[in-house]
Chain A
């Protein structure tokens, strides 16, 4: 076992409300881990701990340890820019910038100055190829990303993460704005990407978790109830609450 993300006794508070209770979890490298649970259980909150996007909200307090590659990312003096280069994020609603396709893909390269101008063409092609957009978009690199279909936009959002060579891709319900066919395409893409990346996906769609993920974590009201290989959890859940949720008794 080779955990890339580890949390130890993680507690998170929004003001006085405690959203996460004492969570200790090891997320394995080069696998897809899904976080499932009913709405408001803290799935997205937990995901946003891993790239410290919760920092944007006021009045958030994090206790306990969160380690990525054995380094505590909540220690004072952690470089958020480096952290977010390493841990990319895909959002629920596709959010390409209102710029051209090329500028979207090259955004991170430009702000981090990680490549020379003459490498831009290769980066563009590699990133778009990785999400199967190159053949469709190679002649439309200058068009606005907002003209793409929702599925293409979400693919572009994934492609946009790749030029800075992240290790981890966080996906916050990446398919909830997409139709079933587009969802199937994105799931296929995730399967290809897990060869090179560790993927953590939040989903409220249990079937999706069952289809794509290697391991699953079930959160309920901010508690980590069960964490196991997806196959085990979906066939013989250990906890009665997991079983009831998977059986659709509440959602």
Chain B
């Protein structure tokens, strides 16, 4: 009896430790990744100043002397991200409202699974499809010398951000208690007034979180952007010119650098910049969600 009891205690202890270790592991891994990133990235600033790096207009990593100004890359990422956000956010929120509040039950189920499928398409596949269909279309429609532009990238990324935005915003709208809608309708509100004046404000923090996570997805996206934005590391004058994003730069050049060279460190420094940007976006999303819980 006594032995059996001890056995149970040991088993409990082992299980508890295992769960603890798995929990702590994710934190340790993130910590290690960040330390590595910081160690490699900050080495660049021994030779290049932070302002030359962030505000420099020329990204010539393999010329002599090499220049590591990432402003064109930041602007490229900004153009593509802003463009994708402007396209994806209104459409994404509108379709979330449609699915959550307007669509008949059957249509709702079909649309929801459709959106899940859209989220499951690998980005390289979307990039390839974009290259074959979207790029020529942009070239011909806007009479451009090339269809590989920031606009094409924004359009493509809008597709990728949409499933995130729609499904999270839809959850937020569904979480609004039905009694608010009932109250609004009983006061003589039309369905649209009930949505716009009551349900939407009640779900606003969840919708904001959806938008931020969608933007996070866009900024971090690499493959599709690399395939269709043209990869010209210069500051574009408009959305209809080729650009190169931060992510695409790292992905395209990492294979060709010499380990320990300035170029190599510069790519890691870009990684830090990306890390900081996504960190803040996730932070805003997180704050929005927690404000809702209060």
Contacts and interface: CB of A to CB of B under 8 A. Distances in A.
Interface of A: 51, 53, 56, 80-85, 88-89, 91, 93, 95-99, 107-108, 110-112, 157, 160-161, 164
A111 B182 contact: no
Contacts of A56: 182, 185
A91 B180 CA distance: 11
A173 B180 CA distance: 17
Contacts of A164: 187-188
A96 B177 CA distance: 11
Contacts of A99: 198, 201
A111 B202 contact: no
Contacts, number: 63
B188 A89 contact: no
A81 B186 contact: no
Give chain B's interface residue range (CB within 8 Å of chain A): 10 to 19
B188 A98 contact: no
B189 interface: yes
14 contacts: A81-B189, A88-B186, A88-B187, A89-B186, A91-B183, A95-B177, A96-B183, A97-B202, A98-B202, A99-B198, A110-B197, A111-B190, A111-B193, A161-B187
Contact of A84 (B180, B186, B202): B186
Contact of B187 (A82, A84, A98): A84
Nearest to A161: B187
Q: Report whether over half of chain B's contact residues are helix, strand or loop; otherwise say mixed.
A: helix
A110 B180 CA distance: 17
A84 B185 contact: yes
Contacts of B184: 97, 107
Interface of B: 177, 179-180, 182-190, 193, 197-198, 201-202
Contacts of B183: 91, 95-97, 157, 160
Contact of B198 (A82, A84, A88, A97): A97
B188 A91 contact: no
Contact of B180 (A82, A83, A89, A98): A98
* Residue with the highest number of chain B CB atoms closer than 10 Å, among A56, A89, A95, A157: A95
Given A108-B187, A111-B193, A93 B179 contact: yes
Contacts of A89: 186
A100 to B, nearest CB: 11
Nearest to A51: B186
B187 A53 contact: no
A81 to B, nearest CB: 5
B186 A97 contact: no
Contact of A53 (B185, B193, B202): B185
A89 B190 CA distance: 16
A95 B180 contact: yes
A56 to B, nearest CB: 7
Contacts of B193: 111
Q: Which of B184, B188, B190, B198 has the most CB of A within 10 A?
A: B188
Nearest to B196: A111
Nearest to A93: B179
Contacts of B189: 81, 107-108, 111
Identify the 6 closest CB pairs spanning chains A and B, nearest first: A84-B188, A95-B179, A89-B186, A95-B183, A81-B188, A85-B188
Interface centre among B177, B187, B201 (most CB of A within 10 A): B187
B246 to A, nearest CB: 39
Nearest to A164: B188
Contacts of A107: 184, 187, 189, 197
Contacts of B187: 84-85, 88, 107-108, 111, 160-161, 164
A107 B201 CA distance: 13
A81 B179 contact: no
B201 A98 contact: yes
A95 B179 CA distance: 6
A158 to B, nearest CB: 12
A85 B188 CA distance: 6
A97 B194 CA distance: 11
Q: Which of A81, A85, A111, A161 is packed against the most chain B CB atoms within 10 Å? A: A111
Given A97-B180, A108-B189, 19 more contacts: A56-B182, A81-B189, A81-B190, A84-B187, A91-B179, A93-B179, A95-B179, A95-B182, A96-B183, A97-B202, A98-B180, A98-B201, A99-B201, A108-B188, A111-B187, A111-B188, A111-B190, A111-B193, A111-B197
